[in-house]
Structure 1
Amino acid sequence: MTEKDSFYFYSKTFPEILHKTNSSLIFTTYQAGKTIILSSKDGKTLRKFARAMKRPMGMAFSKDLKKMAIAEKSEITVFHDNKNLAKTFPPSPNLFEHLYLPRVTFKTGIVDTHEMVYGENELYFVNTLFSIISKTSDSYHFEEYWRPPFITSLSPDDKCHLNGLALRDQKPRYVTMFASSDEPNGWRASSVNSGILMDIKDNKVLLDNLGMPHSPVYFNESIYFLQSATGELCVYNLKTKEVKCLKKFKGFVRGLEVTEEYIFVSMSKIRSSSKTFGKLPIAENETKCGIEIVDRKSGKSKASLFYTDKIVEIFGLKFLNNTNSIGILTNEDPLQDKCVSINENHNYWLKPKSKKE
């Protein structure tokens, strides 16, 4: 049985799982220019909250979930959760339990920022245009942190399409890329199955011949990742070196979260007009845009949500455990400069001035 909205439908188990875990899903869609949050108050219906942004892609949350970073076209904005201001939110007090307010914006330039992570109080991001992992900087557009050993020079050429980044012990550790190329846009000329998964601690290639790998996640001595070209969810056991395909999806999979019980996977429709993606193996059949929740151990589907209109591509996906009713104020929101937060005990919504003043 499915529930329908104007341009998407979902299984009844989708809100049930979010309600059971008192959690939210947040995803970005650069195609539609929005960051969208899904949750459920009753376990029967979905609650959706959306904010317009300029080509949003990568997201990162600090370990305590107090900080959230979202990458847009040429900048990364850091938001901070303020529960006190959420309680007194002027349009509707107590509408949100968590309200993320913009605090700092880093001007990165248009570097095609992909995935991001918070580690050891630092924000790291995949700088795809320059083929490196970067850190934010208040002096320059970015600071180089790591580059693949085969990248001989720093240049804005998207040589290998570096895209995914995973933490281990709160440090950047595993990355995915489409090819080991040092030529400008070299990955486009490479085979579809030229992708690699690499350990950046010792620059060791863990897996090669992958089909456009994305979204690595380290969990329980294994690395979960997606092969977008084939629509596969895979897991690599670091101890046994075994690779297993858990499930195949009908979409260009990109966006992955792993918990003890569930795996959350987002997918996009393939653009038939695309010279790069239109001939992929996954494009042979009709593709879908949406989110599936699968059992981590069995790989069986437990819930799903699919879009029928308006949204055809999803980039980033985050699962916020025990975090419900989330709101975001962007830099363009008329309310973002109508509040003042000094510390935990002093938070204010400014009163509008009268016309006489």
Structure 2
Amino acid sequence: MDTPGRSLVLESDDGFPHWLRAQNASLVFTAYRTGEVVAVGSNDAGLTASHAQLPRPMGISLHRDRLWVAGHNRLWRFQNFLAPGQSHDGFDAIFVPQSAHVTGALDIHDIAEDATGAPVFVATHLNALARLSPGFSYAPLWQPPFVTRHVLGDRCHLNGMAMEGGRPRFVTCVAATDTPQGWREQRVDGGVVLEVPSGKVLCAGLSMPHSPRLGGGRLWLLDSGTGRLGWIDPAGGDFTALCTLPGFARGLSVNGDYAVVGLSRPRAENFDGLRLDAVLAETGQEAICAVLVIDLRRGETLHRLSIGPDIEEIYDVGLIHGVRCPRLIGPDDEELSFFIRPDVR
């Protein structure tokens, strides 16, 4: 399926649109190097696609009524302008940008809403978790105990966050280091999962871990440097691999017995010394850019959405439950002037 006006082609197996409809959901993913936020839905004809252009979109938090998207130096809030049961040109949700809080270049990665509906985010360039604060760029919430100062400069590459009960519960770091850019020398096996707020190391020895998510009594995550999807028992701490995937795994959504995982190709010819290179060579596979649906009971890939030709890396993926065919309106789209929603309650 070709998206008009963009060098974006989406191709899926026949079962993927049916799977989306069975979940009563649609898919969103971000491609930060090309500046795309893409929503994939379904209708009677098959897949639909809609996208918005933002500077360096990364983490997303998805809900039927609103979307949060991290940009280069802003945190964007999109609002669904359609009421439940309403449709417009075949779309059952139209997400319009309503606010953009200027945070500065914090390199925001994962985002999630807290118990009040406010966004909590991973500010990677600050080595901290943070929230929005009116009149300020942000308000810091927490940082790992081995980071000794609240200062700009990516030291440990804090990137992922798992929420529990509306609060941050676990985070992932590429390395437990307090040296500027020190994580880069420990990408092979320096990765850690930390408990929040204690800062206790739950699991160590990982390779570039990303996207921790709680589901089914397990803490799921992507050991990106080895291409593995697996889980950690929060009571034990050992990482158990479920399956190995053909690409740099980053972006994870756990939904019952299924996981939706994002995969990226390497930026150069290889993954620069990571175990993933050898894994792909051993299995005779090439890295792909795609979104996979994984059966968490058996570790099998059920469906694939291939992404190309110009998009080679994605950061985050997720599902919007209760929305089957969404449309995204970008802040620079000419049509934005004509989407008007008065409060006449």
Whether TM exceeds 0.5 here: the answer is: yes
Quote the residue 1:14 is aligned against.
16
SS for the counterpart of 1:336 is helix
Q: Percent identity?
A: 27
Quote the residue 1:74 is aligned against.
73
Stretch of structure 1 that moved more, 224-233 or 47-56: 47-56
After superposition, the Cα gap between the structure-2 partners of 1:273 and 1:156, relative to the gap in structure 1 and judged at 3 Å, is: farther
Quote the residue 1:49 is aligned against.
50
Identify which of 95, 102, 110 aligns with 2:97.
Answer: 102
SS for the counterpart of 1:14 is helix
- Runs of 4 or more, structure 1, over 6 Å off, are 3-6
What is the distance in 2 between the residues matched to 1:20 and 1:191?
39
What is the distance in 1 between the residues matched to 2:96 and 2:183?
38
Deviation at 1:330, TM superposition (A): 2.6
**AA of the residue aligned to 2:274:** L
In the alignment, does 2:333 pair up with 1:333?
Answer: yes
> After superposition, what is the alpha-carbon deviation per residue over 1:141-191, rounded to whole angstroms, capped at 9, x for unaligned?
111010000111112110000000111011111100100110111101225
| Larger RCO, structure (CA 8 Å, separation 6 or more) | 2
Unaligned runs of 5+ in 1: 347-357
What is the distance in 2 between the residues matched to 1:138 and 1:201?
24
Quote the residue 1:351 is aligned against.
none
Equivalent residues of 2:55, 2:72 under 8 A apart: yes
SS for the counterpart of 2:335 is coil
Quote the residue 1:352 is aligned against.
none
Equivalent residues of 2:292, 2:305 under 8 A apart: yes
Aligned positions, number: 334
Deviation at 1:53, TM superposition (A): 1.3
SS for the counterpart of 1:157 is coil
Deviation at 1:221, TM superposition (A): 2.1
What is the distance in 2 between the residues matched to 1:22 and 1:61?
14
In the alignment, does 2:298 pair up with 1:298?
Answer: yes
TM-score (norm 1): 0.88
Quote the residue 1:184 is aligned against.
180
Matches within 5 A, 1:151-190: 151-190=147-186
Quote the residue 2:283 is aligned against.
none
What is the distance in 1 between the residues matched to 2:207 and 2:175?
10
Quote the residue 2:25 is aligned against.
23
Asked which structure has the greater CA Rg, the reply is: 1
What is the distance in 2 between the residues matched to 1:159 and 1:97?
43
Quote the residue 1:113 is aligned against.
108
SS for the counterpart of 2:140 is strand
Unaligned runs of 5+ in 2: 281-285
What is the distance in 1 between the residues matched to 2:320 and 2:83?
19
After superposition, the Cα gap between the structure-2 partners of 1:66 and 1:308, relative to the gap in structure 1 and judged at 3 Å, is: closer
What is the distance in 2 between the residues matched to 1:8 and 1:221?
33
**AA of the residue aligned to 2:100:** T
Equivalent residues of 1:56, 1:72 under 8 A apart: yes
What is the distance in 2 between the residues matched to 1:219 and 1:198?
17
SS for the counterpart of 2:252 is strand
What is the distance in 2 between the residues matched to 1:331 and 1:80?
12
Equivalent residues of 1:86, 1:96 under 8 A apart: no
